[in-house]
Each structure stands twice: as C-alpha cells, then as structure tokens.
Amino acid sequence: MNRIKVMVNGIPGNMAVSVAQHILDDNRFDLVPSALTGPEIVETEFSLGTTVVRLIPQEKREVQIATIMEKEGKFISVDYTHPSAVNENAAFFCRHGLPFVMGTTGGDRNLLEETVRASSIPAVIAPNMAKQIVGFQAMMAYAANTFPNLFQGYSLEIKESHQKGKADTSGTAKAMASYFNQLGIPFSEKDIIKERRPETQKTEWGIPEKYLQGHGWHTYRLKSPDETVSFEFTHNVNGREIYAKGTLDAVMFLDKKVAEGTEGSVFTMIDVLKDI
C-alpha cells in the first residue's frame, strides 16, 4: 500500500503537533515537512524528533504552496489552526485543490460547507474527531429525529471544560444543544457554561493536573418540570490521543474518496465511522 502524504497545519499548536507525531509513528503515512501557521507564531520551523517542519506564515503561503505541491505531489491537508482562520484556510485549500480534514471548530460552518461544495475537492469536516463521542452524538441524533419533543418541559444545563488555550465554545456541546432542541428543550448556545480557568478545573471539576493543558469534559443535565426526574450524560476526555487517532481515520477515509474521484463533497465523522 502506498503511504499517504499528510500536511498538518496549525503546528506548533498542541493538537496539530499530536496529529503530526501520530503520523510520523504510523507506517501508513508520510508527514509533509511544512505547515501553515498563524500570524502570532514567530518561529520558522518546529522539530518533531529528527523531523523538522517548516512553518509557513500567512503572507508567504500562496507562493510556497506551489513549491510544496510540486515536490510532494498529492497529499491530504489537516487543519488544527484557529477558529478565526477556518473559512480562509478552507478557501485556500479549495483554491489549490487540496483535499482536507477540518478539525478546527468555529468559523462560519455554512460558508465552510458551501466553499467545499463549490470546489473540485472532497473534505471531512467535524467538530469532534473522537469516534466514540461521534457515535454517542449519532445516537442522540437518532433520538432527536425519532422522538421529537421527548423532553418537552424539561430544563437543561450544559457544561464544558477545555484547556485554557481553546478560544471558542465546544463544537460538540453546540451540536448536543441542537439535538436537545429537537427533543423539545429550548436552549441557546450562549447558555452553555464554558470553563477555561485551570485552577477551577482542578479544584471544582476534579480534572487531573497533568491534563489541564489538554482535555474535553462535557456534562448535560436534564430535569423534569417538577424536578422529580433527572437525567445526566457525561463524556470526559483526558489528553488528545482519541482525537489524533480519529483524525488519522478521517485521513484514510478521505484518501479513499480522492482515489474514487469524488469532488465537491462534504463528509462528516459519521461517514468515516460507517466506512471503518
């Protein structure tokens, strides 16, 4: 089997570095030693063991991408950058015919999908790359579609905690809020309780100290109108391993779609799960 070349964008960000390291450790893949990075990054390269990744600032990427494509040939791009860069990066990938996996949350998601559908490439777009959590979301989506208004009259509290550097509200929490809306609970995304303070995460949430810089804890609490019935759903992830592994599955899936000649199509992690 030919190894799949992958360019991981967002290095030296923690999630991008984790995915890049998994690619280096997996004989199904080859890491493209270049990465798009943000305007706040002053470094010009980043070392992963013996591999040196060249960091490409925004003002130089239009020029340098042609050289990279000529040298590397076909490759899959992975995006773990910043919510503010989602739509611009997607337009860049589409403009240059670079199939991509978008793991970055935020941005205008409708515009993101429209950009891909108007292009010549396929993409996997998902607010959460953890397969098991995506499976849980699929169960919630089934319930929402099959039993609308099941929890009508119930109150809802959604709490999520992530590392201090995560800029936006959890995309998973937002997706779950939409399922509960279908289940009959009027709940706004702005009411999601977002925790980013390490001391509070440690002392009040009980998150282990070694995972304060990389975790995703979510809790959804429902109560009946008279408070005699309650439901609670929780999924807590420590570290980034589960997301990195899911990202590699998405890359494998997308490479298959590229080989099939798929164009202008948006896929989700549900599509990836069905193909495994």
- Active site positions, annotated: 162, 166
Give which of 120, 127, 67 is closest to 101, Cα–Cα. Answer: 127
Mark out the alpha helices in 4-130 (DSSP H runs).
14-24, 61-72, 86-95, 109-117
DSSP state of 26: -
Mark out the alpha helices in the chain (DSSP H runs).
14-24, 61-72, 86-95, 109-117, 131-146, 171-182, 198-200, 241-259, 269-275
Q: Which tokens go with 58?
A: 């925004």
Contact present, 99 and 125 (Cβ < 8 Å): no
Element (H, E) at 233: strand 230-238
